[in-house]
Amino acid sequence: GAGVSQTPSNKVTEKGKYVELRCDPISGHTALYWYRQSLGQGPEFLIYFQGTGAADDSGLPNDRFFAVRPEGSVSTLKIQRTERGDSAVYLCASSLRQNSPLHFGNGTRLTVT
């Protein structure tokens, strides 16, 4: 079946611009996660949704980052006033339930010039 889908696969933006990254989880998965992966590093936790609500957003680096999941399915990660340090691969994952294994998408590579 279809896996986690992330769009766009690549995004290049100028410093100071606003970007939105989209995640379509596996159908029926109630939990959704955003991670960020810098070059040569492991993924770092950003935020976790159980249903529509953000159950844990402790990994968001600052208030320029925000994520929503209004209908409990698709999620959007929003970054305001982008900085060059925001350049990374943003990974989305979903799981059937809170304690089920995570399935990752292929990520969105964000480059801030």
Partner 1 sequence: GENVEQHPSTLSVQEGDSAVIKCTYSDSASNYFPWYKQELGKGPQLIIDIRSNVGEKKDQRIAVTLNKTAKHFSLHITETQPEDSAVYFCAASTGFGNEKLTFGTGTRLTIIP
List of residues contacting partner 1 (CB under 8 A): 4, 31, 33, 35, 40-45, 48, 55-56, 58-59, 91, 93, 95, 98-107
Residue 19 Cβ vs partner 1, minimum distance, rounded to whole Å: 19
Phi (first) and psi of residue 86, to 5 degrees: -80, -10
Residue 110: how many CA atoms within 13 Å on its side-chain side?
A: 29
Q: Which is nearer to partner 1, 82 or 94 (CB)?
A: 94
Q: Which is nearer to partner 1, 35 or 65 (CB)?
A: 35
Q: Which is nearer to partner 1, 19 or 93 (CB)?
A: 93
Burial of residue 101 (CB within 10 Å: 0-12, 13-18, 19+) is exposed
